[in-house]
Chain A
Amino acid sequence: QVQLQESGPGLVKPSQTLSLTCTVSGGSISSGSYYWSWIRQPAGKGLEWIGRIYTSGSTNYNPSLKSRVTISVDTSKNQFSLKLSSVTAADTAVYYCARDQASWGQGTLVTVSS
């Protein structure tokens, strides 16, 4: 069964770039036909889809975040990554990675603060 684990800095300064990695185990990120996604959840609020990358490499992003988001895959490390630029306090949230709908990581808290 595939497992996903988010990693990255827990604290990012305003205006900097948030960078997170999702490590996939129990299966190859380059096999099959899957969407690899990032989702976030501010404390006490709902889920927000950030974007996804397909096995082929094509990407889709939330229109409200598109100008600041990049999702990429590193098949050699069996990982995919999220970069969110020009962050503000509003980007403080628990960030989840997921494969399609069924498999999610446990989430990682990222706080934007000076």
Chain B
Amino acid sequence: SYELTQPPSVSVSPGQTARITCSADALPKQYAYWYQQKPGQAPVLVIYKDSERPSGIPERFSGSSSGTTVTLTISGVQAEDEADYYCQSADSSGTHVVFGGGTKLTVL
């Protein structure tokens, strides 16, 4: 089955830059989406179509794509950014949606 691979955890100090990667073979063909999820809450879309930011999402959140890897970058990390982050995309046919395993961002 098709899988998206994320690191289980990333840790950064406040004010630093956090980068969370997501890798899979079909990412050059399919858009990636990023979600932030805090405990007890539904996921919130923070990046869509690889690098677009929804209205209301702080500018410190950005996305990029290179080959089979997409990256969520959070510049100037704040304590409130501590959460789980999930990437989402589709297989090469676009028929089946898949989520990455999630990355826990810890703000030290």
Given contact pairs A101-B48, A102-B48, A102-B54, A47 touches B43 in the complex (Cβ within 8 A): yes
Q: Are A46 and B98 in contact (CB under 8 A)?
A: no
A-B contacts, 14 of them at CB < 8 A, read A46-B86, A46-B99, A47-B86, A47-B102, A48-B99, A49-B96, A49-B99, A52-B97, A101-B33, A101-B35, A101-B48, A101-B88, A105-B42, A107-B42
Q: Does B45 contact A (CB under 8 A)?
A: yes
Q: How far is the CA of A5 from the CA of B84 in the complex (A)?
A: 23
Residues of A in contact with B, size category: 10 to 19
CB distance from A1 to the nearest CB of B (A): 11
Q: Which A residues fall within an 8 A CB radius of B?
A: 37, 39, 46-49, 52, 60, 62-64, 96, 101-102, 104-107
